[in-house]
Amino acid sequence: MKKKDFVSLVLGTVGGLFFALGMCMCLLPEWNSFKEGVVMGVVGAVILLVMLLVRRKMEGKPIIVKLDKKSVGTIVLSVAGALTLGVGMCMVMVWEKMLLGIVVGIIGIVLLLALIPVCKGIK
């Protein structure tokens, strides 16, 4: 295993765990730890961002890239898909709107699946 892969593995795991635990703390009212959950989620997101920057540096690429129209479109599509999927999950688990939440979640999944041809192309 290369050093950059190991560093990405460790930072990705730690950041993902912090982010996921923070989201659980926010979404479960029984835990009564919304503010702490927001802090944990932000810490996880920052660790994941640092992982991205460290990985680019270790690959010898510039840390900050110039954005073109395709990159901005890809970012917008990925954020929209993730948010839509998350809203669908909240509708099912928190707001108890089962059928509508499943439909919204499936729309989010379709948006995220649309990233594959956008990023890789169709051959």
- What is residue 47's predicted lDDT score, i.e. its pLDDT? 97
Query: Which residues 6+ apart lie within 8 Å of 123 measured at CB?
Result: none
Q: Tell me: the pLDDT tens digits for 87-122?
A: 999 999 888 899 999 999 999 999 999 999 998 888
Q: How far apart, in whole angstroms, are the C-alpha atoms of residue 63 and residue 72?
A: 17
DSSP characters over 15-64: HHHHHHHHHHHHH-GGG--HHHHHHHHHHHHHHHHHHHHHHHHHTT--SS
Q: Tell me: the pLDDT tens digits for 17-29?
A: 999 999 989 888 8
- What is residue 65's predicted lDDT score, i.e. its pLDDT? 76
